[in-house]
């Protein structure tokens, strides 16, 4: 029995024993109402690790008295999916209730693997339950997602995690025989990151490492025994995109303190420094641009530097660059200008290049007027050509922002073009 982890020993035997997720499985929960009607559509259970996705799937099958097949997307392929569907098809010849196919980490399935599920799901040969820690909008193909109901599971609250600890020391076949005092649980709960499985694993580690007969759980003991503070940061998950979004928006908003905090979150979570540096390069052009062209130079130097030095020293270079970008004047005029120019191309199509701007490498092309009347502006600065197609000659894409450097651009263009660039 003791070889079985605490999290497994305490796995709920029925849905009412599950801690948390009351919005789904409480008395008025949307999923609970569906189960009371003895019906279940194909569903996607989306939520962070350790909130009960696998447990809930098993208990749904048990409550509905359905045959339960399970696959892990990590080590299963199209062949495995087809084998299960064949079994489910033959099973359906003898019983009216179609079986449930549970796929853990369904976001790891390729498009081909997800496609292989479509027919069976659509025909009702199987009821699919997919579990994912990733946003299904990004990771599950649209055709499959449209055939499934998505249920979002939430991280357990502090009170729910505390209840789980109390349940563990009073109900577990082993722990209830030991004199355990939960004097302080803040660190246990903090280290778990809302993950019930991780919380129970940590509790078991701490309890087993205390040599005293009376096992007093305190924050100090927890830190000593757990050895390291595990910060929740999924490099491939939704949190990854949320944090990088907060990071870039902090730089854009000229808040170096917030930007450094989100940078620290990424570094501590093991984010690839090249990913961070690439985003800084984008920010240097998109959010700063010609308000401070040096920002792009510094961001590029940062990217080159971290390829040479790596962690842990790379954090200093990243920090320096983040502070510089956050404190720089901002302009998105380059970003807006290229977008407007591309919109114009979409609307007006492939307009002809004016004859005077065309390349004339041969005598025939020169006779046809290619390059005629064009004078290099380095030779004669008084000559003003029209460089846009005639149909859009009055279009203005670049609108300088109000900052020191771009105000100089504005003055230069207005002086050179004598009224065309009227900002």
Q: How far, in whole angstroms, is CA 325 from its chain's centroid?
A: 23
Secondary structure letter of residue 99 according to DSSP: P
C-beta separation of 335 from 289 below 8 A: yes
- Say how far apart CA 46 and CA 15 lie, in whole Å: 17
Tokens of 167: 């349940």
For domain 158-226, give the fold: Helicase, Ruva Protein; domain 3 (1.10.8)
pLDDT at 37: 84
**Tokens representing residue 268 in the block:** 């501590």
Q: What is the pLDDT of residue 233?
A: 59
pLDDT value at residue 96: 65
CA 267 remoteness from chain centre: 16
Please give the pLDDT value at position 282. Answer: 94
Whether cis (ω within 30° of 0) applies to the bond prior to 312 is yes
DSSP-assigned beta bridge partners for residue 179 = 214
For the chain, the domains span 21-152, 158-226, 238-327, 349-417
Q: Quote the pLDDT of residue 317.
A: 95
pLDDT score at 50: 85
**CA atoms 310, 313, 318, 320: torsion sign:** negative
Which residues in the chain come in under a pLDDT of 70? 1-3, 91-96, 227-239, 377-385, 419, 423
- Domain 21-152 CATH class label: alpha beta
**Over the stretch 284-317, which tens digit does the pLDDT of each residue have?**
999 999 999 999 999 999 999 988 887 788 899 9
Residue 57 DSSP SS3: helix
CATH code for 238-327? 1.20.272.10
């Amino acid at each position: 029995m003791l070889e079985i982890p605490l999290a497994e020993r305490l796995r709920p035997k029925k849905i009412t024993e599950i801690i948390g997720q009351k919005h789904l499985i409480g008395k008025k929960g949307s999923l609970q109402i569906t189960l009371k009607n003895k019906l279940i559509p194909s569903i996607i259970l989306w939520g962070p690790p350790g909130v009960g996705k696998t447990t809930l799937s098993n208990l749904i099958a048990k409550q509905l008295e359905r045959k339960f097949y399970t696959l892990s997307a990590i080590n299963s392929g199209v062949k495995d999916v087809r084998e299960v569907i064949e079994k489910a098809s033959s099973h359906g010849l003898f019983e009216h209730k179609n079986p449930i196919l549970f796929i853990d980490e369904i976001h790891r399935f390729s498009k081909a693997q997800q496609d292989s599920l479509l027919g069976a799901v659509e025909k009702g040969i199987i009821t699919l339950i997919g579990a994912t820690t990733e946003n299904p909008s990004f990771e599950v193909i649209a055709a499959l997602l449209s055939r499934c109901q998505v249920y979002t599971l939430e991280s357990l609250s502090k009170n729910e995690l505390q209840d789980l600890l109390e349940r563990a020391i009073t109900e577990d076949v082993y722990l209830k025989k030991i004199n355990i005092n939960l004097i302080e649980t803040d660190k246990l709960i903090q280290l778990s990151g809302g993950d019930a499985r991780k919380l129970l694993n940590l509790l078991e580690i701490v309890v087993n490492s205390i040599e005293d007969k009376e096992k007093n759980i305190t924050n100090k003991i927890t830190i000593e025994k757990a050895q390291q503070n595990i910060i929740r940061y999924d490099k491939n998950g939704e949190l990854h995109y949320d944090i990088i979004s907060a990071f870039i928006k902090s730089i854009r908003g000229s808040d170096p303190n917030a930007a450094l905090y989100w940078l620290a979150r990424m570094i501590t979570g093991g984010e690839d420094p090249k990913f961070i540096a690439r985003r800084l390069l984008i920010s240097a052009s998109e959010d700063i641009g010609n308000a401070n062209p040096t920002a792009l130079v510094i961001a590029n130097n940062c990217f080159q530097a971290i390829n040479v030095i790596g962690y842990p020293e790379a954090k200093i270079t990243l920090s320096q660059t983040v502070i510089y970008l956050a404190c720089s004047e901002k302009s998105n005029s380059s970003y807006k200008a290229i977008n407007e120019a591309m919109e114009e191309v979409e609307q007006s199509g492939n307009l002809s290049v004016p004859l005077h701007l065309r390349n004339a490498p041969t005598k025939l092309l020169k006779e046809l007027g290619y390059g005629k009347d064009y004078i290099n502006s380095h030779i004669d600065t008084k000559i003003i050509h029209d460089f846009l197609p005639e149909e859009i000659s009055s279009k203005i894409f670049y609108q300088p922002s109000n900052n020191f450097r771009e105000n100089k651009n504005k003055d230069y263009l207005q002086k050179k073009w004598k009224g065309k660039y009227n900002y």
